[in-house]
Amino acid sequence: MTVLDGTVLPAASLTNPLIGSLDRELYIESFLRRWNGNTRNAYRQDLMIFLLWADRAGFDIFQLRRPHLELYMRYLADDRGNCASTVRHRIGTLKLFYEIALDDDLVTKNPARLLMLPKHRRDNDTKVHLDRNEMQAVARAAYDASPVDYALVVIMGYTGLRVSEACSLDVQNVLGYTRGHRVMTFIGKGDKPAVVPQPAVVMRAIDVVAAGRTDGVLLRRRDGSRMTRASATKVVQRVARKAGITMKVSPHTFRHSMIVNAIDAGVPLREVQLAARHADISTTVAIYDRGRSNLDTHASHTLAAYLGAVA
């Protein structure tokens, strides 16, 4: 028996008549095969933490109920010290896992569906992007550092590619044309093919690092190998320091910067959403449009001009 806030929970059996103990891991692997890259790694980590907790408590994950998962959330927060957003993320993985298990008749209901999740209060005042002047300063520092550093910064900061996408580019991926635009073609998040146009500044930077080549790795480290997420992080942090940027900078800062600066430049939100390749425009607004000083473009200015004044 397990006690949660005075409520006695029945111990879940160690075996499920619908799935053997050895098959559990196979089922989890089949679940993970739906995704690739960082998404799969994140889901795997979430599930491994969950399995270790369940095995330690003697629970069969296919016979758990909502109160068991409430106990698990307390474990994440109290024992592991996970913040509210991390707890929500880990439970989100379980919701998806159990929804698929429900479809496969391994559970009778999704125990994570009606969980009361901890509230995550996003700090909307914290600046998470480089503004126009800061972006120009970092681009200048990268230009002075090396052609590869500069190409990395403008590819991410002007087109919004994720660092993994930028590092994955080969020369043959950036020399093609579509509808009169020279484009970058690559496999983006969720294994979705993506085509992104190259503004002139990006095109010039790419031409310098390509140096007349027609194939091979585009962004190369000094030893000629492909730039990685880790090496790209070192590059952007180094050039940001050189540019005098004091805020914490990561490669994803440049994706934030592209999205927020596009909004500040007056690009319609729908176009920003498409450029960022967000499935839902709420992601563009709620997550990326943070810490943005929009006093100059506040709706009150346009409204005041429209309504006029008494005196």
Instruction: List, for residues 189-215, the tens digit of each pLDDT value.
Output: 878 899 999 999 999 999 999 998 999
Shared-domain flag, residues 187 and 272? yes
Enter the tokens of residue 172: 């043959």
Is residue 154 domain-shared with residue 280, that is, in the same domain? Answer: yes
Domain that holds residue 276: 132-288
Q: Output the domain CATH number for residue 43.
A: 1.10.150
User: Is the pLDDT assigned to residue 300 strictly greater than 70?
Assistant: no
Q: Are residues 83 and 191 in the same domain?
A: no
Burial track 291-304 (b if 16+ CB lie within 10 A, e otherwise): bbeeeeeeeeeeee
Q: How confident is the model at residue 256 (pLDDT cuts 50, 70, 90)?
A: confident
Q: Where do runs of H (alpha helix) occur along 182-297?
A: 200-210, 229-242, 251-264, 269-276, 281-283
- Give CA separation, 10 vs 55, 65, 92, 139, in Å: 15, 10, 24, 60
162 & 95 share domain:
no
pLDDT at residue 294, as a whole number:
59
3-state secondary structure of 48: helix
- Entry pTM: 0.68
Predicted confidence (pLDDT) per residue in 213-244, tens digit: 999 999 999 999 999 999 999 999 999 999 99
- Give yes or no: residues 149 and 265 share one domain: yes
End-to-end CA distance of the chain: 75
Of residues 310 and 305, more confidently modeled: 305
Whether residues 251 and 196 share a domain: the answer is yes
In the chain, what percentage of residues exceed pLDDT 70? 84
In a domain, 77, yes or no: yes
Is residue 276 located within the same domain as residue 149?
A: yes
For the chain, counts of helices (H) and of strands (E): 13, 5
Domain contains 296:
no
Predicted confidence at residue 120, as pLDDT, reads 64
Decide: helix, strand or coil at residue 275.
helix
Instruction: Tell me how far apart the alpha carbons of residues 267 and 263 are, in angstroms, rounded to a whole number.
Output: 5
Residues 86 and 26 in one domain: yes
Tell me which residue of 54, 56, 55, 50 sits closest to 94, measured CA to CA.
50
Tokens standing for residue 110:
């999704």
Domain shared by 222 and 266, yes or no? yes
Q: So what's the pLDDT on residue 265?
A: 84
